């Protein structure tokens, strides 16, 4: 997928600061274990890091737990949102606050193993800007969810202008320039997988087995997944708007043929009053199509409406930066980025 001539090995052997961004909503059951495993994984790599916890308006003890963890581990940055904004936006808030030159996005529930960060960094060293984790298995997910997910990815590949890799979540490593690029995309309707694909840059997949949740419950039900798919399609494709046109054309042609046939039939055989069922079928069918077409237009119109309000994506109640991030912020001169754009190369 990636043009390999764009990929050049990096001079630096490791990032100056690695930010691990973690959106969390009611994750009290898993947070401590998550912090422990992530800390161990990064200690094994001997890597300077910060964990950016984004508390997405949790109603349980998540915030208190984060504060407690932060006291024990100065490498934790805490971003507390003013309410629940949903995962995609919590993720954006975390990316905006992350100060690392390399950023990893990961779920709090340990479905994405933090031990994989080392493998991701290896690919980063080879020169890739985005290293995303691709699931080989989906433990603890129903057959129905797996099938519908597969169908959705296929549909997106057909409809969208950018190819969204199948079986990937948000678990990925990104270089600073990719996160900066993402930061420039301020649309309200954020289908992150689509945005990740849209920014481009050399990307690389690494495979892993996705575990079942360590504890707590998934926040996704089928209705939410349906809405996410709708988001994905309407944010990246206008094809559904055209469906109405083609369907309308088809129905119009059929109706015309049907009309011709009626005229011929009447001329040949006369016209006893008949055809009430035909009439009802035609009316019902056409009303259905018209309502669907209207609804589709409504989906897009609603999104246009939301974008025109130009509200901020989220509101932050407070940020408590990690020691590492504070150092990075006050560092003089500003951190050199080890990624040179082709123009800067000698
Ligand atoms: N999440 C969030 N805000 C929400 C819902 C979820 O920040 O409104 C976080 C959640 O805490 C977890 C991640 O998003 O860290 C993925 O959520 P979940 O495990 O429920 O999704 P799944 O793994 O089932 O796709
Ligand atoms: Mg999960």
Find the DSSP H helices in the chain. 31-45, 62-72, 87-97, 117-126, 143-159, 176-183, 192-199, 222-236, 239-269, 276-308, 323-330
Kindly tell me if the per-residue pLDDT of 61 is higher than 80: yes
Contact yes or no for 104/120 (Cβ under 8 A):
yes
Q: Is there an atom of ligand 1 within 6 Å of 23 CB?
A: yes
Site of tokens 């916890």: 53
pLDDT grade for 252, boundaries at 50, 70 and 90: confident
Q: Is there an atom of ligand 1 within 6 Å of 112 CB?
A: no
pLDDT grade for 41, boundaries at 50, 70 and 90: very high
pLDDT grade for 320, boundaries at 50, 70 and 90: confident
Other Cβ atoms within 10 Å of 70 Cβ, number: 18
- Name the pTM for this structure: 0.72
Kindly tell me if the per-residue pLDDT of 82 is higher than 80: yes
CA–CA gap between residue 21 and residue 321 (Å, rounded) = 13
Residue of 159, 148, 151, 153 lying closest to 134 (CA atoms) = 153
DSSP 141: -
Contact yes or no for 234/300 (Cβ under 8 A):
yes
How many residues would you count in the chain? 346
Other Cβ atoms within 10 Å of 81 Cβ, number: 22
Question: Who has greater pLDDT, 123 or 296?
Answer: 123
Range from 39-43, 73-77, 104-108, 284-288 carrying the lowest mean pLDDT: 284-288
* pLDDT computed for residue 57 by the predictor: 92
Q: Is the peptide bond before 52 cis (omega within 30 degrees of 0)?
A: no
Q: With DSSP H G I counted as helix, E B as strand and the rest as coil, what are the percentages for the chain, rounded to 5? A: 50, 15, 35
pLDDT grade for 78, boundaries at 50, 70 and 90: very high
Q: Is there an atom of ligand 1 within 6 Å of 145 CB?
A: no
Strand partners, 18: 49, 102
Q: Is there an atom of ligand 1 within 6 Å of 87 CB?
A: yes
Q: Average pLDDT over the chain, rounded to whole?
A: 82
Please identify, by atom number, the ligand 1 atom nearest to the C-alpha of residue 26. 11
Residues in contact with 40: Cβ distance below 8 Å, sequence separation at least 6, in sequence order: none
Residue of 58, 54, 50 lying closest to 28 (CA atoms) = 58
CA of 214 relative to ligand 2 center, distance in Å? 9
CA–CA gap between residue 254 and residue 292 (Å, rounded) = 19
Q: Which of 105-119, 138-152, 221-235, 264-278 tops mean pLDDT?
A: 105-119
CA–CA gap between residue 216 and residue 279 (Å, rounded) = 55
What is the mean predicted confidence (pLDDT) over 213-224? Answer: 72
DSSP 212: P
Q: Is there an atom of ligand 1 within 6 Å of 109 CB?
A: yes
CA–CA gap between residue 230 and residue 273 (Å, rounded) = 46
Burial readout 127-156 (b: 16 or more C-beta within 10 A, e: otherwise): bbbbbbbbbeebeeeeeeeeeebeebbeeb
Nearest CA owner, ligand 1 atom 11 = 24
Please identify, by atom number, the ligand 1 atom nearest to the C-alpha of residue 90. 7
């Amino acid at each position: 997928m990636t043009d390999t001539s764009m990929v050049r090995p990096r001079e630096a052997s490791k990032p100056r600061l690695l930010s691990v961004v973690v959106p969390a909503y009611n994750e009290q059951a898993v947070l401590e274990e998550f912090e422990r495993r992530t800390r161990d994984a990064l200690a094994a790599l001997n890597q300077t890091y910060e964990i950016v916890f984004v508390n997405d308006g949790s109603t349980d003890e998540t915030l208190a737990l984060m504060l407690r963890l932060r006291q024990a581990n100065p490498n934790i940055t805490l971003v507390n949102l003013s309410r629940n904004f949903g995962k995609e936006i919590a993720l954006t808030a975390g990316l905006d606050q992350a100060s690392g030159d390399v950023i990893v996005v990961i779920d709090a529930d340990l479905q994405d193993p933090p031990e994989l960060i080392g493998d991701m960094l290896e690919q980063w060293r080879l020169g890739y800007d985005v290293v995303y984790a691709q699931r080989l298995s989906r433990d603890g997910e129903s057959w129905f969810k797996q099938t519908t997910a597969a169908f959705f990815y296929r549909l997106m590949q057909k409809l969208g202008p950018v190819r969204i890799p199948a079986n990937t979540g948000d678990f990925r490593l990104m270089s600073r320039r990719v996160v900066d690029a993402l930061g420039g995309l301020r649309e309200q309707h954020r289908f992150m997988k689509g945005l990740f694909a849209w920014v481009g840059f050399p990307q690389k997949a690494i495979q892993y087995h996705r575990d079942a949740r360590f504890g707590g419950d998934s926040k996704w039900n089928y209705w939410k997944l349906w809405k996410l798919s709708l988001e994905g399609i309407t944010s990246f494709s206008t094809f559904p708007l055209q469906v109405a046109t083609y369907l309308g054309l088809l129905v119009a042609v059929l109706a015309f043929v049907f009309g011709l046939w009626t005229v011929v039939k009447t001329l040949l055989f006369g016209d006893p009053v008949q055809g009430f069922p035909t009439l009802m079928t035609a009316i019902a069918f056409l009303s259905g199509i018209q309502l669907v077409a209207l609804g589709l237009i409504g989906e897009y119109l609603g999104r246009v409406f939301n974008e025109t309000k130009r509200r901020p994506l989220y509101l932050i109640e407070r940020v408590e930066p990690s020691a590492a991030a504070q150092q990075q912020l006050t560092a003089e001169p500003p951190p050199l980025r080890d990624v040179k754009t082709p123009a800067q190369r000698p």
